[in-house]
Amino acid sequence: MCQRIIELVDPQEADGGIKHAELFVHVLFRMGLDHTTLLDMLISADTQFLKFFIQFLRYAEDNTQDFKIACARAAVDLLHSEEDGLSDEDAEADIQMLEIVSEILEALYADLKMSEFPYNPKVLMIRIQNVIDKLSRDL
């Protein structure tokens, strides 16, 4: 399944491709915003989630604004907003969404630091920290 997702993801979003940021935010919601599920997916050799996650982190690091927009869209969708623009409530939800995603990445980082992993997670941890730092600049 992750292999098919990886094939669908197009960082340029050309001709209907899916942006990494939107897909990752969607995956987070489908996982119940639970970092332990992310950790399980990263450990599993069968899912190829590590490959997808590395691609996402690279994309988020280089396209932080796109990731923030994806979080804003997710926040608005959660509120079932029918307005064309962002209301004050939607803007607050946007910030809350960025905080939630940052907290999930921070918890995942802490788990990677403490856990015995089947591979060396140092590069993964650096990428996670870079994304956290970029997101936290606007919080």
Higher pLDDT, 32 or 128: 128
Q: What is the pLDDT of residue 115?
A: 73
Q: Other C-beta atoms within 10 Å of 86: how many?
A: 15
Rg (CA), the chain: 15
**What pTM does this model have?**
0.70
**Which pLDDT score is estimated for 82?**
45
Q: Percent of the chain having pLDDT more than 90?
A: 0
pLDDT above 60: residue 116: yes
**Amino acid at position 6, single letter:** I
Whole-number average pLDDT of the chain: 73
Q: What is the pLDDT of residue 14?
A: 41
pLDDT at 87 over 70: no
Q: What is the mean pLDDT of residues 32-44?
A: 82
Q: 16 falls in which pLDDT band (50, 70, 90)?
A: very low
| Interaxial angle between packed helices 35-43 and 49-62, expressed in degrees from 0 to 180 and rounded to the nearest 10 | 120
- C-alpha distances (whole Å) from 78 to each of 18, 20, 33, 71, 74 are 20, 19, 13, 10, 6
Higher per-residue pLDDT: 42 or 95: 42
Please give the pLDDT value at position 88. 56
**Lookup: tokens for 57:** 């982190």
pLDDT at 8: 53
pLDDT band at 111 (very low <50, low <70, confident <90, very high): confident
Size of the chain in residues? 139
9 forms beta bridges with 18
